[in-house]
């Protein structure tokens, strides 16, 4: 595969951008990432003209794939041509807010921001402001963006910043516990119950190999937060408008959080985040309440129209049926291959999320430690050495999940299964 142009672009990028990239995880494709020229349905074409079948889909936002259907494309073009933004409200912000409120039962009010990170930063501040408490409980292996309160390693007794540049005193307000560990959560509440503002969790860990919640785990989190007057925040930046369709993962699990953070799909491929939830809590955001929150680009009209048209198209055109069916075919096919060729591995995922995890015992991981104990270094050999050479673009490491889009076809699934069969 010729990659001269990508290599030349990477050299240029390295001299003007740290690590040659604008987001840490993009650098994980070694020795250098391929640079994309354009998308095409379920595929991307790189700077050297190589075509890849794309299961990364922008790391999640592209529910419809790279070819936006007419109403979505036309809406975006119309808005952009009317002047991109104004610094005063527009109707389409209200339209998208109403759409989300209509479809996600826990969301009575919503505020739009510009990224998933901004959404979780604001949700944590809101929870602290609403409850008057300081601490938050998070899950080890959960990812909530590049923010100070959640870039935390260690455990409940020894929380430490996971990045340089974060004061230890920030991490002291965060309590990391293993996913699916009710006992650890109970202990945290026994020790700090009256100072815990919220439990913040992804409904399904989507940034650490895909880990599913144990039966009853989210119900337990709902009960324990209620008991102690804390909030339950679901971070649905990945699962929102993907798992459980327009109702999101919370309707699939039948658990109602107080707050939900959104990102990715709700902006139809443009920069977005949102915090939705009970009106009484969301009303604490300024200017209605005392919790400051603001953003020049928040509720950007082009993003809002892209999100609204994407979700409306999904509602009216069987998008979830399509992506979930292909997801089932992929997971079933991969499970057969793994059973036959590498029974120690595990196939994880649901709806349009999937991942092969290089576990050592064929047991589905229950938490981040189980994924960490997998043969994670294998990923590089399988992706870089095998799948990419076969023209299949998978997420850049063992931890991030992969996504099916409306642009994918049965043939794409067949080709991918064939490639996995050879690669594994």
75 phi, psi to nearest 5 deg: -60, -45
Q: Which of 79, 109, 135, 264 is catalytic?
A: 264
Whole-number Cα distances in Å, 119 to 77, 112, 289: 26, 8, 17
208 is catalytic: no
Taking the complex as a whole, the smallest distance from the CB of residue 350 to ligand PLP amounts, in Å, to 15
235 is catalytic: yes
Instruction: Say if residues 202 and 399 touch (Cβ distance below 8 Å).
Output: no
Q: What six digits make up the tokens of 379?
A: 């990923």
The closest of 213, 206, 196, 319 to 263, measured between CA atoms, is 206
Residue number of the CB closest to ligand PLP reads: 116
> Closer to ligand PLP at the Cβ: 151 or 282?
151
The CB-based long-range contact list for 292-297 (8 Å cut-off, 24+ gap) reads 292/125, 293/111, 293/113, 293/122, 293/125, 293/126, 295/113, 295/114, 295/118, 296/87, 297/85, 297/114, 297/271
Taking the complex as a whole, the smallest distance from the CB of residue 271 to ligand PLP amounts, in Å, to 7
Taking the complex as a whole, the smallest distance from the CB of residue 207 to ligand PLP amounts, in Å, to 5
> Closer to ligand PLP at the Cβ: 117 or 298?
117
366 is catalytic: no
Q: Residues interacting with ligand PLP, by CB under 6 A?
A: 59, 115-117, 120, 143-145, 202, 206-207, 235, 237-238, 263
Taking the complex as a whole, the smallest distance from the CB of residue 149 to ligand PLP amounts, in Å, to 12
Whole-number Cα distances in Å, 133 to 138, 149, 198, 231, 245: 15, 14, 9, 11, 34
Strand partners, 112: 274
Please state, in angstroms and rounded to a whole number, the distance separating the CA atoms of residues 216 and 362: 23
> Closer to ligand PLP at the Cβ: 120 or 131?
120
> Closer to ligand PLP at the Cβ: 122 or 171?
122
> If you write DSSP's letter for every residue of 73-88 in order, what string do you get?
HHHHHHHHHT-S--SS
Q: Is 334 exposed, middle or buried (0-12, 13-18, 19+ CB in 10 A)?
A: buried
Taking the complex as a whole, the smallest distance from the CB of residue 200 to ligand PLP amounts, in Å, to 9
> Closer to ligand PLP at the Cβ: 66 or 144?
144
Q: Is 341 helix (H, G, I), strand (E, B) or coil?
A: helix
Taking the complex as a whole, the smallest distance from the CB of residue 116 to ligand PLP amounts, in Å, to 2
Q: Which of 10, 52, 130, 143 is catalytic?
A: 143
* Percentages (nearest 5) of helix, strand, coil residues in the chain: 45, 15, 40
> Closer to ligand PLP at the Cβ: 232 or 237?
237
CA 299 centroid distance within chain: 20
Q: Is 364 exposed, middle or buried (0-12, 13-18, 19+ CB in 10 A)?
A: middle
Q: Which of 235, 324, 370, 412 is catalytic?
A: 235
> Closer to ligand PLP at the Cβ: 263 or 333?
263
Taking the complex as a whole, the smallest distance from the CB of residue 150 to ligand PLP amounts, in Å, to 9
If phi over 0 gives left and psi between -120 and 50 gives alpha, with beta otherwise, what is residue 383?
alpha
Residues designated catalytic: 143, 235, 264
């Amino acid at each position: 595969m010729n990659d001269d142009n990508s290599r030349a672009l990477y050299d240029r990028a390295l001299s003007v951008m740290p690590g040659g990239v604008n987001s840490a995880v993009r650098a994980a494709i070694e020795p250098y990432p391929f640079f994309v020229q354009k998308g095409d349905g379920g595929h991307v074409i790189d700077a050297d003209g190589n075509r890849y079948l794309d299961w990364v889909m922008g790391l999640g936002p592209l529910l419809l794939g790279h070819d936006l259907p007419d109403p979505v494309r036309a809406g975006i073009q119309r808005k952009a041509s009317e002047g991109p933004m104004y610094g005063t409200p527009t109707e389409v912000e209200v339209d998208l807010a109403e759409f989300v409120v209509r479809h996600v039962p826990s969301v009575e009010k919503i505020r739009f921001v510009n990224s998933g990170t901004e959404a979780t930063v604001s949700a944590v501040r809101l929870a602290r402001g609403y409850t008057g408490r300081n601490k938050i409980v998070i899950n080890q292996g959960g990812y909530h963006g590049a923010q100070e309160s959640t870039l935390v390693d260690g455990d409940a007794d020894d929380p430490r910043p996971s990045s340089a540049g974060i004061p230890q005193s920030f991490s002291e307000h965060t309590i990391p516990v293993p996913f699916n560990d009710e006992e650890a959560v109970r202990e945290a509440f026994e020790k700090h119950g009256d100072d815990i503002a919220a439990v913040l969790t992804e409904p399904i860990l989507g940034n650490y190999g895909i880990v599913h919640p144990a039966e009853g785990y989210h119900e337990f989190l709902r009960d324990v937060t209620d008991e102690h007057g804390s909030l339950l925040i679901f971070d649905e930046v990945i699962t929102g408008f993907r798992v459980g369709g327009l109702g999101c993962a919370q309707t699939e699990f039948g658990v109602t959080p107080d707050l939900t953070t959104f990102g990715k799909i709700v902006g139809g491929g443009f920069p977005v985040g949102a915090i939705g939830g009970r009106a009484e809590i969301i009303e604490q955001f300024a200017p209605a309440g005392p919790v400051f929150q603001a953003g020049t680009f928040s509720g950007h009209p082009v993003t809002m129209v892209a999100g609204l048209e994407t979700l409306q198209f999904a509602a009216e055109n069987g998008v979830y049926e399509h992506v979930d069916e292909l997801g089932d075919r992929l997971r079933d096919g991969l499970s057969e291959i793994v059973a036959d060729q590498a029974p120690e591995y595990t196939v994880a995922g649901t709806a349009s999320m999937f991942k092969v995890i290089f576990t050592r015992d064929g047991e589905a991981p229950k938490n981040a430690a189980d994924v960490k104990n997998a043969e994670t270094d294998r990923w590089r050999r399988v992706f870089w050495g095998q799948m990419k050479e076969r023209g299949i673009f998978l997420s850049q490491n063992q931890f991030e999940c992969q996504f099916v889009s409306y642009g994918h076809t049965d043939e794409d699934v067949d080709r991918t299964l064939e490639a996995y069969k050879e690669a594994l």
